Chain A
Amino acid sequence: MTSGNTGIQQIHDVGAKALGWLYEHREGFRLEADPAPEAGMLDRFKPLGELALIGKVIFREGVAGSQQSALAHKLLDHAWHELLGSGARLLEGQRREPLSPVPLEVYVPFRELGYRQPDLESAIRLNHRLASWAALEVLPVRRLGLSAIERRFGVEPSVPETAALAHTWLARRPEPWTVEGHIGYDITHTVFHLTDWGEKPAGLPADIAEYLELWLPTWLDDWLDLKRWDLLGELLVVDACLPEPTLDAAAWQGFAQAQQPDGAMPVVGDMPEGDEESVFDLVYHPTLVAAFASALAMSRALSDLSSEPAPA
């Protein structure tokens, strides 16, 4: 379970092992052929959307190493061609639920890497003109994400990003001692949307960056203690998005020790038990987050090396 490495090497190894596990288990990212009717069809695309957003960052960051960059690309290729039918499944989903923003959210990171589905783009552009699209009732952090993804797609956000941000929990910079798990995820995702999932750390407004610099150490401490690895990993991503990442040694050490020898990262506590598919469904997300946090932290640590000594 434990890694003998510390510091940058440890952070690197967490990412390399996590990405290795994700590639080995890529068949786990699947669309059920016959989903239960009560389940929203497009809910099944969520893991692929996260894989695309995060995989793209790992692929682009490069510092993860050429081998990891290549693995990330192969994963994305697999997802696009094998699972999404080169976009056909996204189009099919859009036809089933015309007003759903999910196909757009999943599509954009692929599109940025050069994968295209022109018919889906037509549907998205029509949607974007509908008053109903802009009026969709979603949580503030999701609205911010939609505004960001519209920008990335190349259309004007239905709600300006600054206006969308203003309604989020994080933008109000509330009492840090009120943060519970669900607020924790609201915080991390607000940061993800503001920074294009870590690609542009400068997207964090100064007041929010200052707020996070003050209080992120307390949340890292808390969720490390609670062994909630999924949220801890997302908070480590947030750290890597700060103007001066701390690369919190205790948090990374605990995170690395929670990782399994094969690279899987449990959600909370120890690994769950069950058949391969159910275990995959439980741990793919924290494992993806582990690869994500590692890639961003490595990128920031190495870019800082060029100008100043890396944090201890």
Chain B
Amino acid sequence: MDQTHASSPLAGAVHDLATEVVLALRSGDHLATVCGAAGIDEENRTGIAAARVIGADLLLPSVLYGRHPHPGDVAVLDRAVREFPPKPDAPAATAWSHWHMISTLQRFAPPPQGATGPGTAVGTGTTVGTGTTVGTGTTGTYAEPDAAWLENAPWQSFTHQLSVLAPLAVPAAPSAVQRAAADRAVDLARGFVRAVRRRDWLQAAGAGRWLAAIGGEPATLGLERGLDFVELMGGHDPRVTLHVRAARLMAEARAR
């Protein structure tokens, strides 16, 4: 575990996980195991907490390359979902992140024996997919949280919140958050400018990833060069690089 730049074991684990996601995005290797490479399994408490921080991006290489995720990664994400459910008074962004982890797991869940439809189970291939929180059919899913608060948020806080929810910026994953983002591309673009000016590279990368996912940003923003700039300036944080690479892959896919 490379903790050279980490301030705590958790920060170190987050750093390692993000680094492995970046490597998998770069290589496109469908055999890659993010958690295994980072030395994290489902019994590793710090690792599970780090997986909760990275969220559904743990499976991002599979989402973007359209490949099956490594079972070990699915197991860790599933464990993170069950170990860290949002409290009733949790911030909306936490609830959304949780919701997205569940829906990402469902996206990759093969229909179980005898099931009549897709998306009815999670964590298959491991022994941990039978929890009560998730994945027992449509009635067992975590309801989509409220997103009305996003509609009236000023562009500054809107971008900040969307950036926290950057893992939701993936193709073919409709949500109220994604619709809010698509409706406010100019505000996100302004937020990108603000984040770059403030040298908040993580927020800038998250906002840029959203813009790459939804499109519609003003041409004068210079998003492609902006993402390069953010990576150049903030790429020492693998979470920044993760968003930038995700953005590039989505932008390339959109251009095709």
B197 touching A215, Cβ below 8 Å: no
B190 touching A217, Cβ below 8 Å: yes
Which of these binds chain B: A75-83, A174-182, A187-195, A275-283? A174-182
Tell me if A133 is interfacial: C-beta within 8 Å of chain B.
Answer: no
Tell me if A222 is interfacial: C-beta within 8 Å of chain B.
Answer: yes
SS of A interface (majority): helix
B220 touching A222, Cβ below 8 Å: no
B220 touching A177, Cβ below 8 Å: no
B186 touching A214, Cβ below 8 Å: yes
* Among candidates B155, B156, B198, B221, residue contacting A176 with C-beta atoms closer than 8 Å: B221
Residue of A nearest to B229 (CB): A177
Tell me if A221 is interfacial: C-beta within 8 Å of chain B.
Answer: yes
Chain A 194-223: CB-based contact to B (< 8 A → 1; otherwise 0): 000000000000000001001101100110
* Among candidates B194, B222, B226, B229, residue contacting A218 with C-beta atoms closer than 8 Å: B194
Q: How big is the B interface, by class? A: 10 to 19
Chain B, 182-226, CB within 8 A of any chain A CB: 186, 189-190, 192-194, 196-198, 218, 220-222, 225-226
Residue of A nearest to B190 (CB): A218
B226 touching A177, Cβ below 8 Å: yes
A221 touching B156, Cβ below 8 Å: yes
Q: Which residues of A contact B222 (CB under 8 A)?
A: 174-175, 177
Tell me if A173 is interfacial: C-beta within 8 Å of chain B.
Answer: yes
Q: Which residues of A contact B198 (CB under 8 A)?
A: 222
Q: Which residues of A contact B229 (CB under 8 A)?
A: 177
> In whole angstroms, how far apart are the Cα atoms of A221 and B192 in the complex?
13
B193 touching A211, Cβ below 8 Å: no
* Among candidates B155, B186, B193, B218, residue contacting A177 with C-beta atoms closer than 8 Å: B193
Q: Which residues of B contact A217 (CB under 8 A)?
A: 155, 190
Q: Which residues of A contact B193 (CB under 8 A)?
A: 176-177, 215, 218
Residue of B nearest to A215 (CB): B193
B196 touching A177, Cβ below 8 Å: yes
A222 touching B218, Cβ below 8 Å: no
B190 touching A215, Cβ below 8 Å: yes
Sample of 23 A–B contacts (CB below 8 Å): A173-B220, A174-B220, A174-B222, A175-B220, A175-B222, A175-B225, A175-B226, A176-B220, A176-B221, A177-B192, A177-B193, A177-B197, A177-B221, A177-B226, A179-B197, A214-B186, A214-B189, A215-B220, A218-B193, A221-B156, A221-B194, A222-B194, A222-B198
Hey, which bits of chain B sit against chain A, CB under 8 A?
A: 155-156, 186, 189-190, 192-194, 196-198, 218, 220-222, 225-226, 229
Hey, which bits of chain A sit against chain B, CB under 8 A?
A: 173-177, 179, 211, 214-215, 217-218, 221-222
Q: What are the 4 tightest A-B residue pairs by CB atom distance, in nearest-first order?
A: A175-B222, A177-B196, A218-B193, A177-B193
17 further interface pairs, Cβ-Cβ under 8 Å (given A177-B193, A177-B221, A177-B222): A173-B220, A174-B220, A175-B226, A176-B220, A177-B192, A177-B197, A177-B226, A179-B197, A214-B218, A215-B190, A215-B193, A217-B155, A217-B190, A218-B194, A218-B197, A221-B156, A222-B198
